[in-house]
Structure 1
Amino acid sequence: MTKSRRLAIAVTAMLLLGVDLKVDAYRSAYPKVGAYESPDEEALRHFLAILRLDTQNPPGNEVLVVEYLKGVLEEAGIETRVFALDPKRPNLVARLRGSGTKRPLLVMGHTDVVTVDATKWKHPPFSATREGGYIYARGTQDDKPSVVAGLMTVLQLKRSGVRLDRDVVFLAEASEEGNRPFGINHMVADHWADIDAEYCLAEGGGVERTAGQVRFAAVATTEKIAHTISLVARGTAGHGSVPLQSNAIVHLSQAIARIAAWRTPMRLNDTTRAYFTGLARLSSPEEAEPYRALVEGRDLERVQDHLAANEPSLSSQIRTSISPNIIKGGYLRNVIPSEAEATLDIRALPDEDFPAFLERLRAIVDDPAIAVTRVESYPTRPGSAPSRLDTEAFKAIEAAHKKVYGVPTLPSMLTGGTDMAQVRARGVQCYGIGPVADTEDATLGFGAHSDQERILEEGFLKFVRVHFEIVRDLAAAR
């Protein structure tokens, strides 16, 4: 096949993918002249291609992304290995070797995404449609930006020939959604030596923009721990025309009401104390007042009422939270059921003594007709101490955000969960970073896991730059 024929096929393939080739289309379509392609153009090309690969979990099929990444990395001469419990759900590890004078740096992103209901999407969820400065697709926020940022970071380090004091390890992992066994759990249990590191960068943070104004970068240094609790009420079945005091649905409803009224104990840790202190410094006097009162321990009942009503995401950061999310009971209008069940989503503070918390929950329920048990089929991530704020890694993260965005960096605690938990539990200092996001997007239905998940194209490209700046700062030889 002639060179011109290969070029024509490559350009056609790119057009079919819907990538805007703009000027000098051949530069991004023909690999052998890829040196003429800017890092932004290349990052966008890889991002759109990976977004168009359907890796909904379940079933996963993360092999689609791994094969794509493997091809790109091997063409660049970068060492890669693939580890899999299931051949359709592999993990890829790429390594740039340093002098070994410092311990490795791990950068990771997960290749699976949550499932979609395509009928609710304006744009097909795996079309990677570009509109109005945004890219719409499942995975645009969670977590394919991290995958491409890791890819671009090792590619640029390799091409630049920069000498490294530490190995840079890129892990593209499977099955993060749902915390199943194929991804980080497999790597930590069976291949720890291949990803062991001093520091880790992963998902979980982000740059906050409100009303078009970038305010600060949030870096996740710890996270809450998810537990699933079942409440099962049992009573006597009977005819609906004869109400019974033992009605399981009544007992269950009363228990849920008692749980909802329970304000679990409030406490701050090093991360949340630093976060609220920084948030007060960046806010207007009126907005800052409850944050300062919280840090100083003043008027705590009033402050908790304010956060619960107006800023529930912040309210969740100061306590172990409980949310009743599933209720099952009854099957006919005229039959009193003998059993009713509720499922509680509990997000515990990292240092929560959960057995003691569970006993307190049973005391709150205070009903012998109800069994309160932890659901073992929902896997729980391990707890660990928050990552430190005095490390060279955190300083590099601060410097990169200052350079690219001109904003300060605040440590934050995730109310959700990530696979940093398993890595952090092995003693690695882990930091969650991420692209810019509008605070308004989540309530408008554009956030992660939503039916119109999207990302600012410019925000994605800046995130790739931030990622590279951090890794180069931490790994390059002095």
Structure 2
Amino acid sequence: MSTTDLPASEEAQREVVDLCAELIRFDTSNPTSDERACADWVVARLAEAGLAPELVESAPGRANVVARIPGADPSRGALLVHGHLDVVPADPAEWQVPPFSGEIRDGYLWGRGAIDMKDTVAVMLATARHFARTGTRPAREIVLAFLADEEAGGRFGAHWLVEHRPELFAGVTEAIGEGGGFSYALDDTRRLYPIENAQRGMAWMELTASGRAGHGSSPNDENAVTDLAESLTRIGRHTFPVRLIEPVRALLAEAARLKGVDIDFDAEDLDAELAELGHVADFMQVVLRNSANPTMFTAGYQTNVIPGKATARVDGRFLPGHEQELIDTIDALLLPSVSREWVNHDIAMETTFDGPLVDAMCAAVRAEDPDGHPVPYCNPGGTDAKAFTKLDIRCFGFKGLKLPHDLDYGRLFHGVDERVPLEGLRFGVRVMTRLWQGC
């Protein structure tokens, strides 16, 4: 029996549900709380299994945990496995269950963070505890990182560690985190497993319109509110052209092959061609092009006063290789009275879909789900991976989560009644164990 054939321990599969429930019960809402109590708990769970974790605070309460598991082949670069401890806030009045209860109901574990991403943190913990308790060596060294502040950009988490404690990641050449490795129903029996090897970049901007203040009853052709509203309307109604980057093309091509659909990816009307893929094309719409959406508007202080200034926020995202196109387009859509400055500007990233780690991720999925088909994937959002690329670490998104076909996974992210299937957690432990043994 090869190491990649070894099953995950029954104990790890049993305890992953309890670990995830305990994690959910820590209210690590960002920005309304902190991660320290949860991080202390993670340290204790790793230490009792025999590991030597280090807790690192970037600011009071903003806590990160890093630990290492020695590998069978010390000559190989280490694999970083990272997850974040913080979650977005939740309004209990909107939920069927209290969002920080970790309640089990109908075969699911409910609570804020159940899929973003305390499920993966629990899988990391359960797998690490299994390896440490049994003395099992992964194929290469594993560096575990449980991080703060991802939901607010990682300023107190991944980015802080990369800037201030880069030695914690010495020897790491590749990484896996959130953003991929979940199942997506292709049809009644088959599933795609998008494995993230690209991310869109982030271009959050504040727009400021400067005009002439005046009385609300008087004509004013230099009205800052009007100019800003017109600029925002232009941006919000603009459709960027399709830019078919390689990970997107590869996923769509594999979906077309599996469904027996002939797609001409060079067609002038690609949207019409992709419509033949049905819900798969809908799933991929968000990564076919750049995007920019107005999200906030602030102006004025009295109904009868035209303000001299108005401000707004826009969430811009760009595909790898197409950042300048986004910037040039936004600037062309703004009226002359409107200026732009960055609120949060972060890179797009892309790596090739090849190598031993990719092979190991694909093999782990196929071993546990013979009807699963791993494919490359571009994450429309952003993760802590953006920080780790600064250390020349090759980053992927992979969690290993098999979902029921009737569960709308995407809507649960930052949504109401977030929940994860219990069997999905156990599946994740089996996949992660295989990956660590074969990576």
Q: TM-score, normalised by structure 1?
A: 0.82
Match of 1:238 in 2: 214
**Distance in 1 of aligned mates of 2:80 and 2:360:** 15
* Kept after mapping to 1: 8 A contact 2:318/2:348: no
Change (3 A) 1:138 1:274: same
Give 1:316 shift: 2.3
**Relative contact order higher in (CA < 8 Å, ≥ 6 apart):** 2
> Equivalents in 1 of 2:166, 2:79: separation in Å?
14
Q: Residues 424 and 301 of structure 1: is their aligned pair in 2 closer, same or farther, counting only changes over 3 Å?
A: same
Determine the structure 2 residue equivalent to 1:416.
381
Q: 1:144 corresponds to which letter in structure 2?
A: K
Equivalent position of 1:129 in the other structure: 103
- Contact 1:48–1:128 (CA under 8 A) maintained in structure 2: yes
Tell me the distance in 2 between the aligned counterparts of 1:233 and 1:470.
Answer: 52
Q: Does the 8 A contact of 2:92 with 2:99 survive in 1?
A: yes
Question: Aligned AA for 2:413?
Answer: A
- Secondary structure of 2:391 counterpart: coil
Is 2:197–2:396's contact at 8 Å kept on the other side of the alignment? yes
The count of corresponding residues between Structure 1 and Structure 2 is 426
Deviation per residue, 1:127-147 (Å, 9 max, x gap):
011111111100001111121
Q: Give 5+ residue unaligned stretches, structure 2.
A: 1-8
Structure 1 residues 381, 436: CA separation in 2 closer, same or farther (over 3 Å shift)?
Answer: farther
Q: Which amino acid aligns with 1:218?
A: P
Deviation at 1:313, TM superposition (A): 4.9
Asked whether the 8 Å contact 1:252–1:341 carries over to 2, the reply is yes
| Separation of aligned partners in 2, 1:309 and 1:37 | 36
> What is the aligned counterpart of 2:129 among 142, 149, 155?
155
Q: CA 1:212/1:223 → structure 2, altered by over 3 Å: closer, same or farther?
A: same
Change (3 A) 1:331 1:310: farther
- Cα deviations across residues 420-465 of structure 1 (Å, max 9, x unaligned)? 112134222222123234676559x950111211111111221221
Residues 301 and 141 (structure 1 numbering): CA distance in 2 closer, same or farther, change over 3 Å? closer
Structure 2 match to 1:333: 303
**In the TM superposition, what is the alpha-carbon distance from 1:238 to its structure 2 partner?**
3.1
1:76 CA drift (Å): 1.5
Distance 1:306 1:232 in 2: 42
Distance 1:169 1:47 in 2: 20
TM-superposed CA distance for 1:411, in Å, is 0.8
CA shift in 2, pair 1:412/1:193, >3 Å: same
Which has the greater radius of gyration? 1
Moved more, 418-427 or 118-127: 418-427
Q: Is 1:393 the counterpart of 2:357 in the alignment?
A: yes
1: distance between equivalents of 2:125 and 2:280? 39
Partner of 2:341: 373
For 1:5, the equivalent position in structure 2 comes to none
Aligned counterpart in structure 1 of residue 312 of structure 2, from 342, 351, 356: 342
CA–CA distance in 2 between the matches of 1:447 and 1:200? 25
Please name the residue that 2:89 is paired with.
115
How big is the shift at 1:195? Answer: 2.0
CA distance in 1, matches of 2:426, 2:36: 25
Partner AA of 1:370 in structure 2 = V
Matches of 2:209 and 2:82, distance apart in 1: 43
Other structure's SS at 1:333 match: coil
Q: Is the 8 A contact 2:109 2:419 kept in 1?
A: yes
Q: Partner residue of 1:13? A: none
CA distance in structure 2 between the aligned counterparts of 1:396 and 1:320, rounded to whole angstroms: 31
3-state SS of the aligned residue for 1:90? Answer: strand
State the secondary structure of the residue aligned to 1:79. Answer: coil
Match of 2:39 in 1: 66
* One-letter amino acid of the structure 2 residue matched with residue 372 of structure 1: R
Q: Does the aligned pair in 2 maintain the 1:235–1:248 contact within 8 Å? A: yes
- Of residues 250, 253, 260, the one that matches 1:277 is 253
1:238–1:275 Cα change, 3 Å: same
CA distance in 2, matches of 1:137, 1:210: 27
For structure 1, which segment, 237-246 or 388-397, has the greater mean C-alpha deviation from structure 2 after superposition?
237-246
Alignment counterpart, residue 436 of structure 1, candidates 378, 387, 402:
402
Counting aligned pairs with the same residue, the percent is: 28
- Structure 1 residue 409: Cα displacement: 0.3
Which secondary structure state, in structure 2, belongs to the residue aligned with residue 149 of structure 1? helix
With over 3 angstroms needed to count, the CA separation of the structure-2 counterparts of 1:299 and 1:414, relative to structure 1, is same
CA distances 1:17-49 after superposition (whole Å, capped 9, x unpaired): xxxxxxxxxxxxxxxxxxx97322211111111
Report the residue type matching 1:409 in the other structure. Answer: P
